[in-house]
Amino acid sequence: MAGFGSNVELLKVHPAIGVARLSRNEDFYVFGEEPDAYKSVQDVDGESVNIIKRQAVRFFISSYTSAGAYIRDYSASEIDAMGIDAVWMSKLCNRKISEQLGRDPVYEVHGESRSDNHDGRIVGRMDASAQFDFPATGIEFGQLKSDGLFLPSQVSVIPRVAGSTMPAFGGLHTAEYLDGTADGAVTVELTDRASGDRIGIPVLPAWVVVAPPDFAPDQLDSEVYAHSGRENLDDWLVRQLNMPAAANVTARQFDRRVLENCTSDFAPGIEASFGRLLSAMGGNLRPLFYSSAATRGMGDIRLDPARANPGDMTYGLCSPWQYDFRACGCHFWAAQRPDTATRDDDSGIAWEGDERTINWLRQFVAETGPDVEARRLLTNPQFVNYVERLGILREIGGEIIETERDADMPEGGATGS
């Protein structure tokens, strides 16, 4: 029988919490792998536009001894070469609409997948009794492929009543529009190819969060707000769960790097919103996570699917997520959703004026200055339709430079829908 070796007593899926990010773009990049560009030209509603790519996340397996000592990581090709068939599985849920309707379970959107069935596509559905013009084909949360790659969907928003007009302003949460965010468990089933027997080594599953885009991939909240001591999600969870520092192994470090790129202090937040969940848990999130004994004391921040429910990390977020990007007007809300940046003098843009500070939300690409309130994205429909076209902030030569912004927003962008 194929195997991992006699010293392997435990397998874990990493990253323990993976984050994938939405876009209507067919193209994608993989977290931890620097792309040539974060945007590409796509046909959106019959128009050729340059929009941010989706962020995929690659799950992989690591092995450990009975005492929890790390042994090694395995790529999909290495698992295959060992004569082992791996089937990746997921169970996801979007509970945002349900939360707005008194936590009515018929409005929960559940989806699950196996990588050996329909190429791992995860299709979510509401209960048939839900009063929602839900697509007959369901809503795609993404795809968990046979190599462990989780690719989020291209879903933007789906109206509760088909053909309804989205209000220009108002609210952070609505039951009238469903977005493509979700979260839930990811695990893998391992089978010896020759004998057909299951590999008997225990596997600790992971969790995936399908979240909004990150327009400033080089920046962390803890860096943007260094003066205030603001925490990223890794710091916040380590403190909430009283976790030890990550062990010095690749998988552990990768786990923490994923969470460092997420925000924690904001309510509702971007990738996760623990405020309501924390209240429901009496101020203690620890029961939802694996114990140190189960993870062999290795400092894992790992949700336990036997205790945590799909949708727990995201049900308190804005519905749809674009409303949150619209609503916050404070200076540099979160690293993922900027306010201002420094213009790119090497972009070829014929900038208007000498000021180097630019407003990230501006309608006209060449306009400079931080204050363009009458000429920027303002309304809910504008953020839904155009936010993916905005620039990508990169750290270049010690400055935060806006890159990959090459066109004006449509005329009337400040007031149109």
Q: What are phi and psi of 142, to 5 degrees?
A: 150, -155
Q: Is it the case that residue 178 has pLDDT exceeding 90?
A: yes
Query: Mean pLDDT score of the chain, rounded to an integer?
Result: 91
CB 404, CB 392: distance < 8 Å: yes
More confidently predicted of 164 and 264? 164
CA 116 to chain centre: 24
pLDDT of residue 415: 38
pLDDT for the residue 3: 79
The pLDDT of residue 145 is above 70: yes
How far is it, in rounded angstroms, from Cα 181 to Cα 99?
A: 14
Asked whether residue 417 carries a pLDDT value surpassing 50, the answer given is no
| % pLDDT > 90, the chain | 70
Could you report the per-residue pLDDT of 9-54, keeping only the tens digit for each? 999 999 999 999 999 999 999 999 999 999 999 999 889 999 999 9
Eight-class DSSP state of 108: -
pLDDT at 307: 96
Residue 21's pLDDT is: 98
pLDDT tens digits along 98-125 = 999 999 999 999 999 999 999 999 999 9
**Cα-to-chain-centroid distance, residue 9:** 31
- CA dist., res. 338 & res. 360, Å (int): 7
Least confident range from 160-164, 198-202, 268-272, 349-353: namely 268-272
CA angle at 152 for the pair 301 and 155, rounded to the nearest 5°: 130
pLDDT at 229: 67
Taking alpha carbons only, the member of 50, 57, 61 closest to residue 33 is 57
N-to-C CA span, the chain? 62
Look at residue 264 in the predicted model and tell me its pLDDT: 79
* pLDDT of 185 above 90: yes
Rg (CA), the chain: 22
* Predicted TM-score of the model (pTM): 0.95
Per-residue pLDDT band at 278 (split at 50, 70, 90): confident
Of 207, 174, 171, 205, whose CA–CA distance to 328 is shortest? 171
Which one-letter DSSP state was computed for residue 106? G
